[in-house]
Structure formats: structure tokens, C-alpha cells
A and B are shown apart, each in its own frame.
Chain A
Amino acid sequence: MTDPVLRLEGIVKTFPGVRALDGVSLSVMPGEVHALMGENGAGKSTLMKVLGGIHQPNEGRILMDEKPVVMAGPLEAKAKGIVFIHQELSLAEELTVAENIYLGELPKKSFGRVDWATLFSKTDAILKKLNVGFGAKTRVGSLSIANQQMVEIARALTVDAKAVIFDEPTASLTDAEKVVLFDVISDLQKSGVGIVYISHRMEEIFKITDRITVLRDGQYQGTVETRETDEEKVTQMMIGRKLDLSRNASHHELGDVALEVRGLSCGKLYDDISFDIRRGEVVGFYGLVGAGRTEIAETLFGLRDPSKGKILLDGEEVRLNSPSDAIARGISLVPEDRKGQGLVLGMNCRDNMTLPQVDDLKAGPFVAEGAEVAIFDLYRDKLDIRTPGWKQKVGNLSGGNQQKIVIGKWLSMKPSVLIVDEPTRGIDVGSKSEIHKLLRELAAQGYAVMVISSEMPEVLHVSDRIVAMYSGRIMRTFTSEEVTEDSLIQAISGIGGDKAA
């Protein structure tokens, strides 16, 4: 048996108060595609940062070709032949494609001059291999997200890599580009490069990887041969229990149509969207990232101007020019990025919750503190928010409680339509089911709830109806009785686009 190109042994990494990695081991053989899996927050990115020299491990060793190495920084990791393809685009938009691909190691001539001829010819060779439709001199900022991802991937081909780490490389790629990516990976494989492949997408994992290593809460759960396992077993390793794909069975009394959308379009983002939501109903929007779901929510919240179509609230056509319009009409949006868009982390719980209505809560020229505390207490009890008191800074709360503060904030505005975008992203399993329960209860109380989610169990769990979207179009609308996993997956992949209502 050959030696692994890369081996991590008993890696421990602690941050103040957290044991982010607890004795994690991983070995990558030459020519192997090794999947690294785990839920959000399981420690995958921390492990990769240790490998890349961005964090130093507290315990454990890194071995390359069975020799211990110390990664002092990204440059050293690269010099040793470890290449990272980052999930978040790590590109300088104003520079050319060539400069981005060779960022940090531009070919030099004398006096520190850039050797443009070499740079462009090398880059063109790589781009040709990748079969992309742009040249070395194109400005990266003018490329589509998918093409920018291809630029990122091109970086793997610049050096004589020993190991390449792909972190969610397909998140923004189309199917055709995925094929090219998989070709690149198999080429690397043939030349004996070890590959670490981080992804949430089971079908890719089972298609291209040889072994799977699973992390959960910073702990090593084991390594399995891909051939000898299946999705269910891997999922069990990841979440520590069986995947709950149960569908929502109970239905509430449905009221009038609260929100109706007819033929709504917005440039290239989405096209000809029609749906309605009744009071007491939860409608789930399911699709891949970039399918246009968030953009619809943003339009309904007055953040984007639609180019065509109508929005009707309680049967009356409305124009929503700004969030304050939307709020006044009873629409609330719990945004995707809780920390960035939903909360002021440095402010206390009460102030966060009353933020949208603080203008109305006045005692003379002063903020009415008593009224604010009353509102906070009401929703703390209603939503079961666990915090020592309203003075607690929101940044110190757990993800689940933070999300409840955001939801409470919007409920206190007495909306009729509540839009929640990825309500349980980055929230632990226990709090997830609480949030799901909460969404069902809210519907029972007569709110019209629109849930956008990329997690199938979640959509199945909370929705009365499910709208499946694919690249800006509604493919199909399912009721919770008729939906099956297969039909749902097909619909969001753009297959079987018969529009049954």
C-alpha cells in the first residue's frame, strides 16, 4: 500500500470557550478523492484552516509524505503543494483573470517586473483545458458568478499540487460546468494528486469520491469507503440520528388569500412567478442556491423593483417601493443572513426586538423604555426565548435564540404575511425543530407564512404546499400529500417541468 500524500493526526484546535476540533484525523492517498462531510459548524472549515496554516493546531501533527510539517501560513502550504479552492469567491474583481489565477505568484522578470507574456500564455493554456468562454485578459468583475468560480478552480492547475482541497466548488455551477470540474478532478487524480472534496451534495459525493470522512461537532466520526455505504448511513453519521423526512400532516383552517403574486418578473433574476398564500398556510419555497427565491422575497419586501407583474395584498394591488412600505402593508421579512441583515449584535435583546417600531414608541421626545420592555416580555414568553434578561447582548445568545429574536421583532409589527428566508441556517438540531414548530404555530394563529429553504427535510416538515423553483422559474407546486423526495429533486433540477397545480 502506498503512503498517503497528506495525513492529519489527532488535530485539536480550541478557541476561547469552544473546542472546535477534537482529535480529528484524516489521510488522503495519492489519486484519491476524499470527501469531508459534516453539518454547518461541524469543524470542516476550521480543519481546512489548520491545514492551510491560517490557524495553528493546539495538538496533533500534519504529515506530508509521512514527514511531519508545520504550516506557518498560506504561502507555505502552497509551497508544499497544498492548493485551496475556496467556497467564498476569493477573487480581486478589478484584476484580470490571469492575475487572479496567479495571485501571489505572478511570474517575474528582473527588477520585480511582471512577465506578462508568460502569465498570459500559461493562463490561456489552463483556460483551454477548462473549456471556458473567456480569455486571460478579461476583468474578473465582468464575469458571471459561475465563471468566477471557474477562475477559482483554475488556480488548482497552476502549481504542481500534491493535494487540492475543494470547498463546496459546485455551489454556483451549472450542470455543464460541473462536468468540466469533474473532468479536472479526474485528471488531477490520474496524476496522483490527493483531493479533499467538501460538499453537502450527496449525489456528487457518491459519484466522484472514494472515501468519506465525517465530522460532527468538531469530533471525528469515522471514515468509510464510499462504495460500501449509502446516503442514509452517512447522514446518520453526520447528524447522529436518522434523517427525518416526515411530511407535515396537519393542516390548519385556511383563511382568505393574504398575498397573491401574478406574473412577477425581475430582469434575469426570475421570470413569470405566480402564487398565492392564504392565511393559516405555510408555503415552502424549495430550490438550489440562485434559483431566485431570495430575490422574490426581496421584491415582496420592497427591496427590488419588479420589471413586470402584480403583487396583491388581500386582493388589492399594491406597489412596494421600500421596506417601510412593505412593513406598513403588513409584510415582514426574516432575512437569510441573521447576523448581517437581521440583528444588531452589539445591542441588547429588547432594543433589537423593538428596532423597527422605535419611532412609534415615544414618551414625549424620549424612547418609552417601559413599553419596549413590555413588548420584549410578551414575545419572550410567546416564543420561549431563553435569555437571562432583556439587557443581554444579542451577540451572546445561541443561534436559535437569535433567530427567535428576529422573528419576534417582526411579529411585534403585527404583520399579516411573514417571509422567512433560511430560518434554521447555522442553528443546532434541537433549536431547528423548535423553530419549525414555531412556524407551524404562527400559521395556526392566522399568519400567512412563506418559508424559503434549501433543506429538504425542513421544507417537507413545515409546508402545507411546496413551490419548487429552478433558475428563476416555478417548476411545480406540490401539496404536502402528493410530494415525494424524487419528484421534488427532479423539479428543482429542472427535470419534468410540467406545471401541475
Chain B
Amino acid sequence: MQPGALSDALKKGAIWGFIVLELIFFSVAGEYLSLSDNAFMDYENMLLLLKQSAPIGIIAMGMTIVMINGNIDLSVGATYAIAAIILLDSMTWPIFAGLGDWVIPVAWLLALLAGTMLGALNGIIVWKTGVDAFIVTLGSMLGFRGIVFMFNGENPTSHLNWTLVDFAEAQVLGLHTATWFLAIVTLVLWYVMTRTVHGRNAYAIGDNREAAVNAGIRVGPHMMINFAIIGFLAALSAVVFYSESGSVNPNDGQLYELWVITAVVLGGTKITGGAGSVIGTLGGVIAIQLLRKGLGHIGADTSTVNLVIGLILIAVLVLDRQLNVKGKEELKV
């Protein structure tokens, strides 16, 4: 075994080990502390958990590739809300009145298109102006949210289409529709990042941008594509979630960007870019959802959950730093 292989393996498998640990802990603790009689590792409960991970999870996949690319996108929560409004509102537009249930794919398409465009807009600004993605998307986060409030003030936008609800609540092969979407997105992006030239170039750009430029990789278009993908996924997440709920508040999706980034970082993606994996992010998403559900199961309230997740995030980063130290003789900074 090469030196460093052990810590490499530790780092890659760490998130799954952590999930196993959570499962054991909550099963055991649940026996004593839980108010309900149901076991934590109940089959239905786990399926529900996957379904509940989907909204954050789908966006987190996009965030993974944007962060591997060396950028970040803070505007996903607002994009999510815009896409949700377009989805629900467009179904009531008079021009689509004659379509019957065929309005559903049209509304979906519109919402996804809007998300993609908003993401691409972020990407173009980052590409053409060279302004840091953090700042650009901080601005668009505020701006997009402003658009959401301009649309309907503080009032929720609602529209229930029962065909759509049936679709969203369906279970194919045991898995919920939302879970299927999460799985497909994960698989597709895993393939893109590990098997395509675009994916490998995205890694190279995030890892050493100068080297990528020297090698003649066109940095800008790759970044824009990734921003367009995350915009699309934020909209997809909204589409999947609001097809079922049918009502969107103008505040929906707030803080999503932070939950998403937390999941991505827990999953082992470097904040500075160049390293990380879509599969790791899936682990991060599930770990957070497990923690939320598990703490709820043993009777903790929401604020405790947030405190614990925050502490774990910091602990993970400290651990990661320890594993990355190259030995005692390293230069102290």
C-alpha cells in the first residue's frame, strides 16, 4: 500500500462510515428515548428519508460540480423559488387553458427553462466579468429573491393539479418519484464528471486554473455550462417538490444554498475546487437528512438539530485538515 493510501481511503469512505454510525446510534438511542413505538430503521421510514432528501439532494449534485469547478452558487434557493412560482402559476395562464392535463409538461418545461437561463446568466457574468462567483451569486441571490416578492407580494402562489399530485406521490419499484429523480440526477452527473471531457476539464480548472489555461482549456464556457446545470437542477428540485405540495411561499428555498453547501462539504468536496465527487455528496445529503430525522426521532427539537449539524460540519473539516497534514516537519502557517 502506498503511503497516504490509508488516509485517502478513510477520507473517501468516511461519509458512509458516518452514515452507518448514525444508523446504529439512532436505532439504539431510539429504543430508549423515542416517543413512538416504531423502530428507526423501518423500511417505510428509510424510503421517506430518501424522498425528503431529494429537494436538497438534487441541488447539491449541481453544487458539487460547480464547486469542483472552483466556483460557488449562492442563488440556488432563490432560483428554486422562482421556478416553483413559474411552475404553479403558468398552469393557470389563459393561453394554456385549452391544453387540459397537457399543461403539465408545458409548465415543467417553462420552469426548467427559467432555472437554466438564470443559472447560465450567473455563469455568463462570472465568465465575462471575471468577478468572483461568490459575489456574483450573492447579488443574484438577492435579486432573484426580489423578483419572487415582486410577483405576488407576501402572498403564497397556489395551484393544485391532482394529476400532478398523483404523479409526484407515485411509487415505482418502491421508490417515490422524488427519489427516482435524485437517483437519476446523481447517476447522470457521476457519469458526466468521471467519464466526459467536460467533467475532467472541470476538475482541472478547479484544481489549477493556470495549468488549465496554459493547456488551452477554455475556462469560461465550462464554468457557464456548470452554472446552467445547477440552475436547471434548482428548477428540477422545485418542480419535483411543488408538483406535490401545490403551494409556494415567497420565502421558500431560503437558506437552501447553505444546506446544500453543507452537504457538499460533508461529502468531501474541496471548497477551493479540484476535488470531490457526486457520490460523496449523495452521502453528505443522506447523512444530514438522517441526522435531522434521527434527532427528531429521539425527541430533539429543530434548533438542537441545527446546532448538532453545525458542530459536526466543523468537526469534519478539522478532521479533514488533520488527515491532510503531511507529517510533523511540515511548514507551520
Residues on A lying within 8 angstroms of B by beta carbon are 52, 73-76, 78, 84, 86, 90-95, 99-100, 103-106, 108, 111-114, 142, 266-269, 298, 302-305, 307, 322
Contact = CB atoms under 8 A, between A and B. Distances in A.
Interface stretch (B29-37, B107-115, B210-218, B235-243): B210-218
Given A105-B215, A267-B329, 12 more contacts: A74-B215, A78-B216, A90-B215, A95-B200, A99-B204, A111-B196, A112-B197, A112-B198, A266-B329, A267-B327, A305-B329, A305-B332
A138 to B, nearest CB: 9
Nearest to A73: B216
A74 B207 CA distance: 19
19 contacts: A74-B214, A75-B216, A86-B214, A92-B204, A92-B208, A94-B203, A94-B207, A95-B200, A95-B204, A103-B211, A103-B217, A108-B197, A112-B197, A114-B197, A142-B2, A298-B331, A302-B332, A305-B329, A307-B329
Nearest to A107: B197
Nearest to A321: B332
B329 A90 contact: no
Nearest to A323: B332
A305 B331 CA distance: 8
Contact of B328 (A74, A112, A114, A267): A267
A494 to B, nearest CB: 22
Contacts of B275: 94
Interface size class of B (residues with CB under 8 A): 20 to 34
Given A106-B200, A114-B195, A92 B332 contact: no
B274 interface: yes
B310 interface: no
The 6 closest A-B pairs by CB, nearest first: A75-B216, A104-B215, A92-B207, A267-B329, A103-B215, A90-B211
B107 to A, nearest CB: 29
Nearest to A269: B329
B196 A113 contact: yes
A95 B203 contact: yes
A268 B218 CA distance: 40
A90 B204 contact: no
Contact of B332 (A90, A93, A95, A303): A303
Contacts of B197: 106, 108, 112-114
Contacts of B218: 75
B196 A104 contact: no
Contacts of A78: 215-216
Interface string B202-232: 0110011011111111100000000000000
Given A90-B208, A99-B204, A307-B329, A112 B196 contact: yes
B4 interface: yes
Interface string B272-303: 00110000000000000000000000000000
B331 A104 contact: no
Contacts of A75: 216, 218
A344 B210 CA distance: 24
A322 B212 CA distance: 37
A142 B4 contact: yes
B218 to A, nearest CB: 8
Given A103-B204, A304-B332, A305-B328, A93 B274 contact: yes
